[in-house]
Amino acid sequence: MRIVRTVAEMQRVCRGLRTGGSVLGFVPTMGALHEGHLSLVRRARSECDTVVASIFVNPLQFAPGEDFAKYPRTFEEDCRSLETEGAGVLFAPDAAEMYPNGSVTTVTVSEVGDRLDGASRPGHFTGVATVVAKLFHAVAPTRAYFGQKDAAQLAVLRQMVRDLNFDVELVGCAIVRDTDGLALSSRNKYISAIERRHALVLHRTLLQLERMIAEGERQSISLVRRGMDTLNAEPGIRVDYLAIVDANNLLPVTSAETGTLVAVAAYVGSTRLIDNFLVR
């Protein structure tokens, strides 16, 4: 696996691969890789000739006071995992390379970018859209792979790709969970064994709502009320949102239909966790 540190070299390497006929599949990450990330790499490998991954803890998407400084960084181990999964190129720039002195341009996806996590974390999706736009310009992949785990992020990036005519296909990939049901996240490293037990209420709530929908309850009001009852019965967490929304624009819908997004965010201690499912 070739490790590249600069945008200029990345563009040269990827141009060479494309000219040689390679279809590039891109997996952007912030590192601290787990099975969720690796499932994206595997999917990319199965659909593309060369997998390009990136590891960059993007300062622009963290607000002051969030966990940028303590975000887990496990670069050597990540490289070994990516190599094992068959990634061909790893882009691992530093912050000065991505945001050199004097860079002032950002990408803001209005409306959809201000909903759900965008409402709770103002400016977060501007940071995400800006870095992903820059990464797309460095790699120019045919396909880019993102987890459904970050459903709002996926909606924001789909909007950006449409609005700015990026020539890339975004592929949403299923959420990977631990055996106890907790969605894998680099931030799970922050939580204690007791907090983890509290955190399981997120998945339990989603399973309850999925069951209610399967049994015929479609009204968002009733679903949210029941879901909030379950969440509020767990004193170890603080709910940020439980929302039933259109998966494309993240606006609330009155009735949960096929493709509707049911999403939850909550704090366990100071750690913010998210989870969701798409109605079948």
- Residues annotated catalytic, as ranges: 37
The token pair at 69 is 């400084």
105 three-state secondary structure: coil
Does 40 contact ligand AMP by CB under 6 A?
Answer: yes
| Position with the least CB separation from ligand AMP | 147
Which positions from 59 through 78 interact with ligand AMP, judged by CB under 6 A? none
Does 25 contact ligand AMP by CB under 6 A?
Answer: no
Question: What is the contact mask toward ligand AMP in residues 100 to 139, using x (rule: CB under 6 A)?
Answer: ----------------------------------------
Does 185 contact ligand AMP by CB under 6 A?
Answer: yes
CB half-sphere exposure, 145, CA atoms < 13 A: 26
- DSSP of 27-49, one letter per residue? EEE-SS--HHHHHHHHHHHHH-S
Between CA 28 and CA 246 the distance in angstroms is 25
- Taking residue 49's Cβ as centre, other Cβ atoms within 10 Å add up to 15
Binding residue (CB under 6 A) for ligand AMP from 14, 183, 244, 250: 183
**Window of 118-126, 177-185, 217-225, 228-236 that interacts with ligand AMP by CB under 6 A:** 177-185
State the nearest-atom distance from the C-beta of 219 to ligand AMP, in Å.
29
Q: Cα torsion at 72, 178, 152, 42 (round to 10°)?
A: 80
Does 176 contact ligand AMP by CB under 6 A?
Answer: yes
- Please say which residue, 36 or 88, places its beta carbon nearer to ligand AMP: 36
Binding residue (CB under 6 A) for ligand AMP from 50, 126, 159, 186: 186
Which ranges of the chain does DSSP label H, i.e. alpha helix?
7-19, 35-47, 75-85, 95-98, 117-120, 124-139, 151-163, 193-214, 220-232
Does 205 contact ligand AMP by CB under 6 A?
Answer: no
Residue with tokens 């787990």: 34
Q: What is the binding site for ligand AMP (CB under 6 A)?
A: 29-30, 36-37, 39-40, 146-147, 149-150, 173, 175-176, 183-186
